Chain A
């Protein structure tokens, strides 16, 4: 695990964008596999597929601002034996082009990989129209679609490689960038459909995905040190197919589950976990935290994470609340002088 966590310096910043890593990994993959082609809808630079476009100009297609057409083109390219990687903002991939993704790609089970950037509230200041807090719900409901929400750049690298190796449509949602690194190396055993247990614990299990996974991991460390709580943390990077075994095991062993995600609480990770619990017939305390039934407000991503309850301190607060503990025992605001 990364020791420093949220560490930004001027030097690091350029290397920290998760999408930047996606661009690099795609270029490496394309060196080895001639069947890979890239598509974007006038967002090559923002989604970082531009790196691929610069390196393989004859294998890249800019559809212009016409996302529906782009997904149709990707379907055709896949039908002819190529492996298209399609990049646009999550809000356009999952909402504007939903019908094309469903009918042109998922219905015939075509080998198209959708790398959707600026997901959740990560595009904070760009406004509610550019947030995407519905994509997991939409994509999860499409038959044949695999849905992945990586926790950081390293996991994105793993997810992109795994997506290439998987035959069929894959949706990977990543953030705008500047995600802190949860992992230091890629060899931690990433597998589509298998949760990664970041910490073991017996009091409660936190299940998180995307940006919330990093926060959950570090929050659990503080809860253990400060409150003596034994907190299991599962990085549920694959929302579909979800790791049912890991969820049932957590129900049996910790009896309390709380999920955190940068997504509407309806239809995302929390819903997917709840479905597994209900189906199992096992009882446990359960809460899901994410964007409630509203359109997300506008602000810096850090503020939105806090506002919607999945930054580290809000995760700590929620766990303490579930476990019957307060953030502070007293409201003491006297400065130490």
Chain B
């Protein structure tokens, strides 16, 4: 049976990372064009004594939807012997699933291509092309609030405790000079991750990165945080204590996803 930590990691992969494939297609129109007219369901499932865990990509006339759970009639199924192996697969580590539906080659290749594109969030070094850098930062800044929110909903003890005590507050991330922004709203145990600026209130804490490169340096932990603060590569507006707390949750998501 999967450990609690393996289940939290699977939550990150299936409920926070996998949905980012939609963002990839949204910001890679050339790639999206290749999915035009595509139909089919690609299921990822891990066996577990407490019940199988999975998520799936659903293409309907080329439009992608990502769902958590087990589809009734998937076209292709990636089956993992346990949750740990599935997590390793999504983290880009060696892990071999059994694959059913290999005859639907086009669908399989498209799904694999999408997963390969998603690997950008697991990079340890920044990409070279500016558009790849931008996509990587976008995906990571979407992943972090979503990951924290999903861990809250999955009952992660530290995050849930924090969220339970939270009055109506938003925490935000943004990159200056771009439209890249995300937020996490919390209120008495409820949480909601969103994309773009939250405008109904002022964020309680906002992580403002000065540029795409600045954000990458911090997110990949190649820039020293103190230097980043001194040089205003990262400005944390709001309560320093809460900034630290959210920062530790960001690390938690990063660690679970690696």
B-binding residues in A (CB < 8 A): 4-11, 13, 218-219, 222, 225-226, 300, 302, 306-307, 312-314, 316-317, 327-328, 331-337
B237 engages A327 (CB within 8 Å): no
For the complex of A and B, the 6 pairs showing the least CB-CB separation, nearest first, are A337-B19, A302-B239, A336-B194, A335-B193, A333-B190, A313-B201
- Inter-chain contact A316/B201, CB cutoff 8 Å: yes
Would you call A300 and B241 a contact (CB within 8 A)? yes
Contact A10 B230 (CB under 8 A): yes
Closest to B196 in A: A336
User: Of all chain B residues, which has the CB nearest A10?
Assistant: B229
CB distance from A337 to the nearest CB of B (A): 4
Cα distance A8–B242 in the bound complex, in angstroms: 12
Known: A6-B238, A9-B230, A337-B15. A312 touches B194 (CB 8 A): no
B146 at the interface (CB under 8 A from A): yes
Whether B149 sits at the interface, judged by CB under 8 Å, is yes
B223-258: CB near A (< 8 Å → 1, else 0) gives 000100110100111111111000000000000000
List, sorted by A's number, 13 A–B pairs whose CB atoms are closer than 8 Å: A6-B239, A9-B232, A219-B202, A222-B201, A225-B199, A302-B239, A302-B241, A313-B167, A313-B202, A313-B204, A333-B191, A335-B192, A337-B66
With contacts A9-B232, A300-B239, A300-B241 taken as known, whether A336 is within 8 angstroms of B201 at the C-beta atoms is no
Residues of B within 8 A of A328 (CB): 200
Q: B225 CB to closest chain A CB, in angstroms?
A: 9
Assess whether B195 is interfacial by the CB under 8 Å rule: yes
Beyond A5-B202, A10-B230, 8 additional contacts (C-beta under 8 Å) are A8-B243, A13-B240, A219-B202, A307-B167, A316-B201, A336-B146, A337-B16, A337-B66
Q: How far is the CA of A220 from the CA of B153 in the complex (A)?
A: 33
Which chain A residues border B168 with CB–CB below 8 Å? 313, 317, 327
Which residues of A lie under 8 Å from residue B150 when comparing CB positions? 335
Best-buried of B15, B16, B149 by chain A (most CB within 10 Å): B149
Task: Please provide the chain B residues from 35 to 94 with a CB less than 8 Å away from any CB of chain A in the complex.
Answer: 66
**Interface residue ranges, B against A (CB under 8 Å):** 15-16, 19, 22, 66, 146, 149-150, 153, 167-169, 190-195, 199-202, 204, 226, 229-230, 232, 235-243
| Chain B positions within 8 Å of A307 at CB level | 167
Contact (Cβ within 8 A) B200 A7: no
Given A333-B192, A335-B150, A336-B195: A312 and B241 within 8 A (CB)? no
Report chain B residues within 8 Å CB of A316: 201
Contacts of A7 in B (CB 8 A): 235, 237
Cβ of A313 and Cβ of B237 under 8 Å apart?
Answer: no
Contacts A10-B230, A334-B192; is A327 near B200 (CB within 8 Å)? yes
Residues of B within 8 A of A5 (CB): 202, 237
Is B146 touching A10 in the complex (CB atoms < 8 A)?
A: no
Q: Note all chain A residues with C-beta closer than 8 A to B241.
A: 300, 302
A99 to B240, CA, bound (A): 39
Which residue of chain B is the closest to A4 with respect to CB atoms?
Answer: B237
Q: A6 to B238, alpha carbons, bound, how many Å? A: 5
Q: How far is the CB of B240 from chain A (nearest CB, A)?
A: 5
Rounded to whole angstroms, the CA-CA distance of A49 and B28 in the bound complex is 60
Contact A336 B193 (CB under 8 A): yes
From residue A103, how far is it (CB to closest CB) to chain B in Å? Answer: 41
Q: Are the CB atoms of B229 and A226 closer together than 8 Å?
A: no
**Docked complex Cα distance between A337 and B146 (Å):** 8
Chain A residues near B167 (CB-CB < 8 A)? 306-307, 313-314
- Least CB separation from B23: chain A residue: A337
Contact A10 B226 (CB under 8 A): yes
A314–B229 CA distance with the chains assembled, in angstroms? 29
Q: Select from chain B the residue with minimum beta-carbon distance to A13.
A: B240
Tell me, in angstroms, the Cα distance from A8 to B190 when the chains sit together: 28
Are A218 and B202 neighbours in the complex by a CB distance under 8 Å? yes
State A306–B166 Cα separation when bound (angstroms): 10
- A219, B201: Cα distance in complex, Å: 8
Cα distance A332–B199 when bound, in Å? 16
User: CB distance B192 to A332 under 8 Å?
Assistant: yes
Nearest chain B residue, comparing its CB with the CB of A11: B230
CB proximity of A293 to chain B, nearest CB, Å:
21
CA distance A333 to B194 in the complex (A): 10
Q: Tell me the bound Cα distance from A219 to B15 in angstroms.
A: 34
List, in ascending order, chain A residues with CB within 8 A of B19's CB. 337
Q: Determine if A226 and B200 form an interchain contact, defined as CB atoms under 8 angstroms apart.
A: yes
Closest to A334 in B: B192
Interface centre among B167, B168, B202, B230, by most chain A C-beta atoms within 10 angstroms, is B202
A214 to B43, CA, bound (A): 52
Q: Give complex CA distance A334, B229 in Å.
A: 33
Set of chain A residues within 8 Å of B200, measured between Cβ atoms = 222, 226, 327-328
Alpha-carbon distance A333/B241, docked complex (angstroms): 25
Find out whether the CB atom of A335 lies under 8 angstroms from the CB atom of B235: no
CA distance A335 to B15 in the complex (A): 10
